[in-house]
Structure 1
Amino acid sequence: MIGQAASALYVGIVRHLRTRPRAHKLAYRVFWMLLDLDEVDTLAGRLRWFSRNRFNLYAFRDADYGDRSGAPLRPQIEALLRQAGLEPDGGPLRLLTMPRILGYAFNPLSTWFCHRRDGELMAIVYEVHNTFGETHSYVAPAAGEARMVAQEAEKRFHVSPFMGLDMHYRFHVVPPGETMSVSIDGSDASGRLIAATMSGKRRDISDSTLLGLLASHPLLTLKVTLAIHWHALRLVLKRIPFFPHPAPVEPNVTLGREAPAAPSAAIGSSPT
């Protein structure tokens, strides 16, 4: 990307499929920002409708990520990489996330793409947020030359009261380029239980594009929260088994690993 900013917008769709004990699916249009940590201040300086750590139509707030203390994010993410046995060399850290919109944000999943100085992808950090105000990170190495990254990890974080912890995740990721996708299959002892895919097409970040997305995706981050609770109600009505909230897991990081490449079972992985 010589001469081109790494930061961008990705406009697309999120799809979820639950297979058991009764099928349930959802799909909604969303967009994300891919933010290179080294470019955030430059973006905030040139864009009228985007700011860092202050209110605007769109905003990036450091305290929404990592340990939520507002402490610098690069040392926090690099510490996670070292826990996974990886040694960062100061290469780009790029975060795929939904920004704050009119002061509100909720991201079920924010994904960190961690690169070496030569641009090769070295690891992915999946930062998961639940509706109980808790976070957990899954960290896994990545083969930088692969067009699709395949990883896996054991589930150790309570996300939904309709799924237990005795599950295994497989991640299939097309790193951000002209398109991107992150697919997660969750399986238990009986086989695949859920498939989730987020996918999108790249757009450059500009004030006009941001205003257009505000019109086409009004109150996006609030709608995500409302959709989570609406579908939770539907699962209750379908009499899906309920799992009480377990005690928080410490430490709040799980180490994953590379997995054999295989097509993801998630549906609808192409961006729309």
Structure 2
Amino acid sequence: MSTLNSRLFQGWIRHRRYLPKKHSFSYPIFMSWLDLDELDKVMALSPFWSLERFNLVSFYRSDYLGEAGQDLTDAVKNRIKEQTGDSFKGRICLLTHLRFLGFCFNPVSFYFCYPESTESPRYILAEINNTPWNERYCYVLDTQESPVQKDKWAFEFDKAFHVSPFMPMTQHYRWQFSLHEANLTIHMQLQQDNESCFDATLQLKALAMTRMAMRTTPLHYPFLTLSVVVSIYWQAFRLWLKGIPFYGHPDKQPE
């Protein structure tokens, strides 16, 4: 049995739009939960996984927060410092899609930041990427500001980053996290004028980070990272066919 904090998660993701017209879809998914202090150990477990090198599955520093030459752990700590003023110390676990055959697009990756000698995260960072603009934005969420019980947290905040051209910037987020050793649920709701207009749910179950799981799990979801991008544009086309209003990128509008 694996003694690593790192593990695999598999399950499903579902999107539901309620306004101005109903639209929904779901698909199976797997993600990697990586203790950033264990990256070398994890990648050494399987000949099909690599660090900064092409393989079936690979981790590249440039895919994530901060400058490519900066240690990712330091980049996360710096982001927390910039946002909260707190000099965070502790371990950081990243929930993400890794590259599959050299390709990856992460609509969102999450960093769960555990203070030293604790089993509950103090901060959760949500790093969001958009397409086709290839921009990146990171929300910093403080679990001490969440009113929910242990291992469950809820946050509310205004939207600050353009993601979909079929959603305006004047929206409000309500996010919920439920994290246990064997299960992880993330529910993200968008509100417009105090009315729910969209939600996304990620439901995952944990697998030990073993050599066998690292070989077989990616093959159960072939070309998942490519299919994520294909799905984004396919669903956008379906929304366009339904006549959903289009909102241009706020920073790309003609003067």
TM-score normalized by the length of structure 2 = 0.92
Provide closer, same or farther for how the CA distance between residues 17 and 148 of structure 1 changes in structure 2, counting only shifts above 3 A. Answer: same
Cα deviation, 1:216-236, whole Å, max 9, x if unaligned, reads: 211000011101110000000
Instruction: Figure out how many residues of one structure are paired with residues of the other and give that number.
Output: 246
Question: Helix, strand or coil: the match of 1:157?
Answer: coil
Deviation of the 1:137 alpha carbon? 0.6
Give the equivalent residue in structure 1 for 2:99: 100
CA distance in 1, matches of 2:158, 2:103: 31
Work out whether residues 6 and 33 of structure 2, in 8 Å CA contact, stay in contact via their aligned partners in 1: yes
Work out whether residues 49 and 207 of structure 1, in 8 Å CA contact, stay in contact via their aligned partners in 2: no
CA distance in 2, matches of 1:213, 1:220: 11
Give the equivalent residue in structure 2 for 1:200: 204
Matched, 1:135 2:139: no
The 5-angstrom pairing of residues 1-272 of structure 1 reads 4-119=3-118, 120-131=120-131, 132-143=133-144, 146-189=150-193, 191-247=195-251
Deviation of the 1:16 alpha carbon? 0.4
CA distance in 2, matches of 1:207, 1:137: 32
CA distance in 2, matches of 1:219, 1:9: 17
Which structure 1 segments of 5+ residues have no match? 249-272
Moved more, 32-41 or 135-144: 135-144
Question: Helix, strand or coil: the match of 2:104?
Answer: coil
Question: Helix, strand or coil: the match of 2:3?
Answer: coil
CA distance in 1, matches of 2:25, 2:214: 25
CA distance in 1, matches of 2:121, 2:239: 38
CA distance in 2, matches of 1:190, 1:181: 24
Q: Where has structure 1 moved over 6 Å in runs of 4 or more? A: none
Work out whether residues 138 and 153 of structure 1, in 8 Å CA contact, stay in contact via their aligned partners in 2: no
Amino acid at match of 2:160: R
Work out whether residues 80 and 88 of structure 2, in 8 Å CA contact, stay in contact via their aligned partners in 1: no
TM-score normalized by the length of structure 1 = 0.86
Amino acid at match of 1:210: M
Question: Helix, strand or coil: the match of 2:90?
Answer: coil
Which structure 2 segments of 5+ residues have no match? none
Question: Helix, strand or coil: the match of 2:134?
Answer: coil
Deviation of the 1:210 alpha carbon? 2.6
Higher helix share: 2
Provide closer, same or farther for how the CA distance between residues 185 and 110 of structure 1 changes in structure 2, counting only shifts above 3 A. Answer: same
Cα deviation, 1:103-131, whole Å, max 9, x if unaligned, reads: 00001010000110022311100000001
CA distance in 2, matches of 1:67, 1:92: 18
CA distance in 2, matches of 1:146, 1:42: 30
Question: Helix, strand or coil: the match of 2:73?
Answer: helix
Question: What do you get for the CA RMSD once the two structures are aligned?
Answer: 1.7
CA distance in 1, matches of 2:11, 2:168: 29
Deviation of the 1:52 alpha carbon? 1.1
